[in-house]
């Protein structure tokens, strides 16, 4: 049964993701608000696929911030990155600068408001993150 659920998840989620990526290319022409709403949809779609196809319930332990805060995630998979818009409203997201250099992905990320950071810059990168998040 686990194999059937996994295959169903991959088919439904990745087919839906292809649609979302194509829609993101169009949404980006209308500015960050349209792209953010689409990313919110994709994040909620992912959560629904996890819940109903895989049978996994997401549980958050502790309190999520209601106002400005820096939330550092050391994610083990794409799950946390995809789920972030479901957990936090309009997060300022940081990513490795290398990701911002990927032609289409980097442009979409910049339109969304993704902030590229050179991770090898230590304290300077942290200061840039704090400044950019404001």
| Percent of the chain's residues with pLDDT above 70 | 97
Domain limits, the chain? 1-59+73-91, 92-134
Lowest mean pLDDT among 60-64, 99-103, 107-111: 60-64
Please tell me the distance from the alpha carbon of residue 29 to that of residue 26, in angstroms, as a whole number.
Answer: 6
pLDDT: which is higher, 101 or 78: 101
* Digit-coded pLDDT (tens) for 51-100: 999 999 988 888 877 777 777 777 777 788 888 888 887 777 888 889 89
CA distances, 85 to each of 21, 38, 55, 90 (Å): 16, 10, 21, 7
Element (H, E) at 115: strand 115-117
Structural contact between residues 38 and 24, judged by C-beta atoms closer than 8 angstroms: yes
pTM listed for this prediction: 0.80
Q: Phi and psi (nearest 5°) for 115?
A: -110, 115
Contacts for 54 with CB less than 8 Å, ≥ 6 apart: 5, 6, 9
Report how far residue 116's alpha carbon sits from residue 125's, in angstroms, rounded to the nearest whole number.
10
């Amino acid at each position: 049964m686990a194999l059937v659920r996994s295959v169903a998840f991959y088919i439904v989620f990745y087919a839906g993701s292809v649609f979302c990526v194509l829609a993101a290319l169009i949404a980006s022409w209308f500015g960050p608000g349209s792209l953010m709403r689409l990313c919110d949809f994709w994040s909620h779609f992912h959560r629904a696929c996890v819940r109903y196809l895989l049978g996994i319930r997401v549980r958050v332990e502790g309190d999520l911030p209601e106002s400005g805060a820096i939330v550092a995630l050391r994610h083990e998979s794409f799950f946390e990155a995809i789920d972030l818009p479901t957990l936090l409203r309009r997060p300022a997201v940081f990513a490795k600068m290398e990701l911002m250099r990927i032609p289409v992905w980097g442009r979409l990320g910049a339109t969304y408001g993704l902030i590229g950071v050179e991770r090898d810059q230590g304290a300077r990168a942290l200061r840039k993150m704090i400044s950019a998040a404001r």
